[in-house]
Amino acid sequence: MSARGSEVSVFVRTRPTASFAQELIEYLPDGQTVNVRQWKESRKGVVNNQLNSWSFRLDGVLHDVSQEDVYARVGRGVVLRVLQGYNGTVMCFGQTGAGKTYTMTGATENYSQRGIIPRALQEVFREVEQRSDHTFTVHLSFLEIYNETLVDLLSSVRGCPGPGPGGMAVVEEPGGSVVVKGLSLHLVHSEVEALNLLFEGEMNRIIGAHSLNRNSSRSHCILTVHIESHSRTLSDAKYVTSTSKLNLVDLAGSERLGKTKSEGQVLKEAMYINKSLSFLEQAILALADRKRDHVPFRQTKLTHALKDSLGGNCNTVLVANIYGEAAQIEETLSTLRFASRMKRVRTDPALNEHINPVLQVLKLQKEIQLLKQQLSIHDTLANRTGMSYETLSETQVAEIQSQVQRYLEGSLEEINIVNIKQIQEVFAQFKVAIQQQEQRVRSQLCETYSLVEKTQSSSGTPVAKLQAPKSMVGEVEGCGFGVGVAAPSERHVRPVSPDRTRTRKTKELVSHGKKEATGAGRPAEDVSGPPSQREPEVYELETQDPPVLLPGPREPPRPDSPPSKTEAFEDFKAERGSEINRILKENKAVLLERRARLRELTDAINTAKTEIDHTSSALQQWRERRQSQGQFVSAQGELVLEEEELALVMRLQELKSRYRLLYEEQRSTKAEVSYCHHLVDQCRARLLTEFESWYNESFLLPEEVQAMLRTGGTIRPGLIPLDKALALEEDEQVRCERVRSERLADSPSAVSFYSAHMRSLQRQRSVGRATPQTASQKRSPRDSGRTRLPAILTIM
């Protein structure tokens, strides 16, 4: 038996007999093959010369073999693996009287004829004594399953707490292991204590057989040895959990209902045994079928209790006990068929190993200490002095901070690398410096714009309305692009275009530049009407969301006064923003299509669920009918279902697999919908951002600013919002502008220069406006001599 990916080991053992049916049962010299022959129609007493024959290849034949040899071949390997932390099961299966109890328990009155259980207990305690590097804790439990009732065979032991009010039940634990709730666990320190418990349990089994009229061969018995081991050495932080258990199972007799001709109590017992053994077979068939993801363990107490002991994460050995006589050949065949099916079950035993966190931490601390020592030896050998691997002190951090500051200012040429910790701190300080600078730029911007606001306020524009553009942006987003713009709401259609207001106002400001600068005039009021009608959005657009300047192909000519944002947005989507708008539309279409699919899937899932419910309840009715009226069992002992019930079973399976498929698709479609949502939102945000930039650039910014940006000239830092520039990082040109403006932020002399330059441009423009414009000049914002200056420029 190997540890990984092995099959269940299966042995056949014959009960010694004087009349061994040599003509029917043949053991081949390979020690693994059993050939069985059976007269055709022998059941009906028809005598003829025809024989059916079968060949079974198993792991070993135990014929005329001593108890000692049986233990050596069947039990020892499993027991030793349990001590290493793997679960193990030894199980006997076969007809009543074929020798299951003899194999498991043996003859209790004769030491040399003791069976696998007492030998296993002896081996466990011998090993526990020998393995001084581990401490072991051993517990025993002894469970009997009789007519689907769980019986604690050790409940009579002194001090046993009893099953509690809820009785006993098989419970699955997280991780797949199974425990019998209410079953007493007994701590044992020696082989003697363990054997006492075994005999106590055996005695209780016999007493039950007499006083409660139970036939011990008609119950299943599971003796479980629970082993927990801990490492005694600190370096080994692993320990094996109590989930390592050895199950020693003596199954009830497997003879068939038809053959025993039972009635009354015996019939009832036989039915329960039939049921549990046929479910055991079903579970085994399901385990053997690698394609099946569900194994019906819960159908009976036996299969449920053995869930973690049949195949799977367990070393499992089965002994098929048979009679050697011709009279029992039919049951012998049935037992061997079961055995060969069991052999197809594959096991994948895994070590039940856990890490003790406390020991693990201690181990790692020790390892760190050792590594530090090695490092310091290495440093000494490499002549590196002053190396430290400890966490930096506050003074050291302050020193690095000062170095980084000086490096950024230029007074320090380079920062010497000392060690990893110091490098990490240098990077951290760079990050801090960048964040501080960003903060500085932001507050400079705020300062600048609050100045603008004050100026506007003093010139008659109500500051309270400065939030207006945000609501407009919100509406556009809320309606979805296209909708909000194509059908503008009241708030979008304004009697006086905000941009127009802004333009006229700027015109006034420019033409009366001097007056404005001294604060003596109120230039905009007569143009833009009473404050309540005026639209302050343009100021907000400039102050809250200053334009990102995108030098690009020449834009369509600027009209005299800029179009409303609603119109402009339509133009933008058709031209400059057409690509991103197309992507947005495509994404929206995909999103709609995925949403529709999601709805379809949800409907289909609901329909499948309803059908599953209907089919399950119909099936349940069948089962109840079968239980009350008895069930058909084939000659091979397999449950025979009526055609209609079988059809329901198939239908249910089909529905369940359909439900699973739909559910999977629904889950992935949900993820796709959410992803598409994200894409659509991103596209919207991008379209809006680019539109704002384009709008400001095309209608609001002085052409000279554009030109200057294109030629690498200087510009006020406030014109480019840092966060917007960061958001459009992939746009290399924008990024360049941001870098330029940041440099400006650190260079006040450039700002003064630019201010002076702008003032002279203003003057030039006010002079230029006297010249009449051609039609094309009117359309071209860039070529226009007269420009609507952004609010920021009016205060210079």
By beta-carbon distance, which residue lies closest to ligand ADP?
A: 99
What is the rounded CA–CA span in Å between residue 553 and residue 698? Answer: 12
Query: In DSSP terms, which residues pair with 34 in a beta bridge?
Result: 27, 56
DSSP secondary structure of 507-545 = HHHHHTHHHHHHT---TTHHHH-STTT--THHHHHHHHS
Among the listed residues 103, 105, 204, 217, the single contact to Mg ion using CB under 5 A: 217
Does the protein bind ligand ADP through residue 99 (CB under 6 A)? Answer: yes
Minimum CB distance to Mg ion smaller for 101 or for 429? 101
Residues 6+ apart with CB under 8 A from 2: none
321 binds ligand ADP (CB under 6 A): yes
Vertex 94, ends 92 and 98: CA angle to 5°?
100
In the complex, least distance from residue 110 CB atom to ligand ADP, rounded to whole angstroms: 10
Residue nearest to Mg ion (CB): 101
Tell me if 501 contacts Mg ion by CB under 5 A. no
The type of residue at 560 is D
- Beta-sheet pairing, 60-62 with 51-57: unpaired
Q: How far is the CB of 321 from ligand ADP (least distance, A)?
A: 5
92 vs 700 by CB, closer to ligand ADP: 92
Residue from 38, 96, 315, 456 in contact with ligand ADP (CB under 6 A): 96
User: 253, 156, 163: which is closest to 199 by C-alpha?
Assistant: 156
Based on CB atoms, which residue is closest to ligand ADP, 98 or 468?
98
As given in the structure block, the two tokens for residue 451 are 């100045």
Task: Answer yes or no: are the C-beta atoms of 541 and 514 closer than 8 Å.
Answer: no
- State the Cα–Cα distance between residues 12 and 36, nearest whole angstrom: 13
Q: Under the criterion CB under 6 A, does residue 100 sit at the interface with ligand ADP?
A: yes
Q: Which residue do the tokens 């524009």 mark?
A: 461
98 binds, among ligand ADP, Mg ion, none (CB under 5 to 8 A by kind): ligand ADP
Question: What are 702's two structure tokens?
Answer: 């002085």
- Rounded CA-CA distance 197/157 in Å is 8
Could you say whether residue 15 binds ligand ADP (CB under 6 A)? Answer: yes
We find the least distance from the C-beta atom of residue 92 to Mg ion, in angstroms, to be 8
Segment contacting ligand ADP (CB under 6 A): 101-109, 574-582, 632-640, 642-650?
A: 101-109
Among 88, 253, 577, 718, binds ligand ADP (CB under 6 A): 253
Stretch that binds ligand ADP, among 99-107, 178-186, 280-288, 632-640 (CB under 6 A): 99-107
**Tokens coding 347:** 């096991």
Cβ neighbors of 449 (< 8 A, separation 6 or more) are 543, 718, 792
Minimum distance from CB of 250 to ligand ADP (Å)?
7
* Contact with ligand ADP (CB under 6 A) among 101, 224, 706, 766: 101
Whichever of 94 and 118 has its CB closer to ligand ADP, that residue is 94
Using CB under 5 A, pick the residue from 101, 315, 615, 693 that binds Mg ion. Answer: 101
Q: Please, what is the minimum distance in Å from the beta carbon of residue 160 to ligand ADP?
A: 26
Q: What are phi and psi of 166, to 5 degrees?
A: -80, 0
Asked if 219 interacts with ligand ADP (CB under 6 A), we say no
Could you tell me which stretch among 78-86, 97-105, 127-135, 781-789 binds ligand ADP (CB under 6 A)?
A: 97-105
Q: How far is the CB of 248 from ligand ADP (least distance, A)?
A: 13
Task: Decide which of Mg ion, ligand ADP, none touches 352; Cβ closer than 5 to 8 Å per partner kind.
Answer: none
We find the least distance from the C-beta atom of residue 208 to Mg ion, in angstroms, to be 13
102 binds ligand ADP (CB under 6 A): yes
Contact assessment for residue 597 and residue 666, using Cβ atoms and an 8 Å cutoff: no
Number of Cβ within 10 Å of residue 632's Cβ equals 11
Nearer to ligand ADP, 105 or 766 (CB): 105
Determine the angle formed by the axes of helices 468-479 and 643-695, rounding to 10 degrees.
150
**Is residue 217 at the binding interface for ligand ADP, with CB under 6 A as the rule?**
yes
CA separation for the pair 64, 179 (Å, rounded): 37
The helices-and-strands tally (H runs, E runs) of the chain is: 27, 19
The single-letter code of the amino acid at 104 is M
Block residue for tokens 């031209």:
575
Binding site for ligand ADP (CB under 6 A): 15-16, 94, 96-102, 107, 217, 253, 321
Binding site for Mg ion (CB under 5 A): 100-101, 217
